[in-house]
Chain A
């Protein structure tokens, strides 16, 4: 503790140099934080996606429709717990820039098992009772100031049987979504109401959501579903949410080699710059260090003082850089909802800062510790 003032004044011996080193370390770790953070963050999202929720969609692409009649056949596959039909469309609230997604589902008992939504039981019950009801994404309610019981008018591309494209839904509750990309602006409505009210495409769904009874058997169940429809006019492709997340985000994974190269270039350049700077700085301080030893500082104390100076600067700068990197994540999470700075990246960042500090300072600090007082003072 009593060495603290000494360490502090050692850091500020040359304020200009201290600030430059601080900034350099800060910039390096800001870049490290952004690149490594995005990469690891995406990987974590994929790993966190549910492997036990399956999506059954047309085998050709994600935009084809399937007939609702497949539902019973899917339900009969052993291991399938719940099957929920899902139809997707979009709507506009008030003006064309306020878009939202309309997700029509059938709220049968247990349907929530096949989704990543969190919905209070009374809201789910209210949706079942209210034909024109809608459960709204939490953020949307706040943005547009909707309340439960409000009737919200939406314009949609889907034409109703009465020829109108205006749809009105009653807000019966709110939900949150824990899936990768779950932050989207969606509302959940009753499939049966939606399907009867529309003119075109009646009796079709975009996909079925399936919950399996045993998560370990998810792959077998998926294969079995696809096998049942193989060579029919409605070939299916069944995938877990995790596989879908992997597909959507793999483009970033393809840049791994580049991210690795950049991160290593940053650290190498930083290590070299700080090592030479430390060497220079300690060479300049030889007479002062000799005085310290004359006053009775042991070799170890001198070594530790110098090491501590470097550690304080590097850890503070790295923390600052990583904090800057975190500012990027709110922006990035607009593209990949749910993305956040992984704790492990922060930990690895701080650990690398310690490592860079120790490597760049240990050689000059060792030679400083081994100084012969007489020789050092004589060289003045």
Chain B
């Protein structure tokens, strides 16, 4: 009880003295806010990328690839494709047909609107069932492609990012001209998606196999039965994976890079901010030697002094964390980035802010420890004699 009373008493005196020590206090706050701001905005890339990639993932969607091959790079024959239609658990579309999409991917090039830089993106040949496979697909202009024709439909992010995707534009692909006939939005996706009729595309590229087959199940729980049926069928050399799993696999590498860079830079910034806090708190303690010695002389305990200085350090770290997160939010939330061939919007979320506060408290604690011990060890007699 006595300890707590002493502790609170000293803490109040500490805080009351802030106006005279505004500069070192601001140093702590600014140092912590820069460190937290940087950490939060770097992690916001990873969060944004995850939100972007996982945002539209649905548990009832399953992607089939040739066993052992990478997803979307399979070799699925027309016979195998026909057999997939007979598998159990597949949801039926509005016309009563099973919702199965046969895809064939080829890389085609685009040019960025702003920089003119060349970039490759996949042109996906697909079947018209794609609109029922992807219920989040919403046409904003034009129409669906027609079977057998050289027609393209492009997501609105293509139109924003690349040239040559306006309605009616003609794009030369492999010696023939393809016309852009429709624009659509695809859920939260920022990635450019371009679809064409799979048969037209495969005959243009004289290909005979699909690269992937996607299926929408009646319920997510049908996955096991569906997967078992594939394994039981000796003519199917296919592997079924949930959409979520496929996205997670593809995202792993980017996630690892982003996390490493974020924590590497964040840690260095945190070390810098902690050093700054140590220095500032030392300065604060030094300027109050007489005051602290007096307190000790009139009976305040060392433990209470240590606790109060530590607590003061934590108290300054929190506004620093909030300020840093606020700056990160103001500058970077919603900003588009497209590193390593991905494109997404940075997302500053409450959980990132919480993480920032935890880091700030750690910085405050580490930074406050040494000065707090020094404050408690001020020799009473020498400090008082210095008056």
Contacts and interface: CB of A to CB of B under 8 A. Distances in A.
Interface in A242-289: 243, 246-247, 250-252, 254-255, 257-258, 261-262, 265-266, 268-270, 272-273, 276-277, 279-280, 284
Contacts of A266: 34, 38, 269, 272
B117 A247 contact: yes
A277 B175 contact: no
A258 B30 contact: no
Interface residues of A, number: 43
B113 interface: no
B34 A232 contact: no
B385 interface: no
A233 B282 CA distance: 75
Interface in B326-356: 331-332, 335, 337-341
Interface string B105-123: 0111100000001111000
Contact of A233 (B106, B175, B268): B175
Interface residues of B, number: 47
B221 interface: no
Contact of B117 (A30, A246, A265): A246
A27 B273 CA distance: 10
Contact of B280 (A28, A268, A273): A273
B175 A60 contact: no
Interface stretch (A17-25, A190-198, A351-359): A17-25
Contact of B41 (A61, A258, A284): A258
B282 A31 contact: no
Contacts of B106: 60
Contacts of A250: 117
A276 B41 contact: no
B319 interface: no
Contacts of A258: 41-42, 45, 332, 337
B4 interface: no
B174 interface: yes
Contacts of B273: 269
12 contacts: A24-B275, A24-B279, A27-B268, A27-B271, A59-B109, A60-B174, A255-B339, A261-B332, A268-B34, A269-B269, A273-B27, A280-B287
Given A30-B268, A273-B31, A277-B280, 17 more contacts: A17-B279, A17-B283, A21-B279, A24-B275, A31-B272, A59-B109, A233-B175, A258-B45, A261-B41, A262-B265, A266-B269, A266-B272, A268-B30, A273-B279, A276-B24, A277-B27, A277-B283
